[in-house]
Amino acid sequence: MEPHFWHQRWQSARIGFHQREINPHLRACWQHTGAPPNTEVLVPLCGKSRDMYWLAEQGHAVAGFELSPLAIADFFAEAKLTPKREPSGLFVCWQHEPFRLYEGDFFHADALGRQFDLAYDRAALIALPATMRPAYAALLARLNNPGGRVLLVTVDHDAQAPSPPFAVNEAEVRTLFEPCFEVALLAHLEEGARNRRVAAGECTFFDEWCFLLTRR
């Protein structure tokens, strides 16, 4: 998962991971974060996710991190917003309230010196191969204040294709995050044949999991 992989995906519009609808786990489970409306939400590897619109509708500011400038440009164009762009450390910050989207490698987010009380991850952890997930979990821990909460959505499946979304089951989530977070399972959805990969014979099951992580 080198940067050029994601740049190529956006340049060729191979973005099957992008959801046109608001994620149902976000709608159903966000209340468990207990978040005050004005709290800023960290969204790693945000792409042009429509989930960020929903968070803004709940009164939140959004701090997204995205490698591809095409994804960020699409997000603001589809929202009919014209952002300001300015350097911010190792990043370029695209800003139009309530959105600040940082163009650059999320693994350098430490350099901004920012910390958060809320985060939302639908497609970041499952976009990373196993070798990169421990570093991601450690970075998320550093970026969250004590007591900070993360709503995490993962998937589990038995597809053999070595490409995202990767399977990250409950056991792996606990291994990755329990050293620094309390981990609570909020929802488990077995999609079965309703999932297009199962229907196409790419895998025999495809499950979605939603967790609440609370920074110790």
- The 3-class SS string of the chain reads CCHHHHHHHHHCCCCCCCCCCCCHHHHHHHHHHCCCCCCCEEECCCCCCCHHHHHHHCCCCEEEEECCHHHHHHHHHHCCCCCEEEEECCEEEEEECCEEEEECCHHHHHHHCCCEEEEEECCCHHHCCHHHHHHHHHHHHHHEEEEEEEEEEEEEECCCCCCCCCCCCHHHHHHHHCCCEEEEEEEEEECHHHCHHHHCCCCCCEEEEEEEEEEC
The model's pTM is 0.92
Domains of the chain (ranges; CATH) run 3-12+21-215 (3.40.50.150)
- From first to last of the 216 residues of the chain, give the pLDDT tens digit: 566 665 566 556 554 554 678 999 999 999 999 999 899 999 999 999 999 999 999 999 999 999 999 999 999 999 999 999 999 999 999 999 999 999 999 999 999 999 999 999 998 999 999 999 999 999 999 999 999 999 999 999 999 877 788 999 999 999 999 999 999 999 999 888 788 888 888 899 999 999 999 999
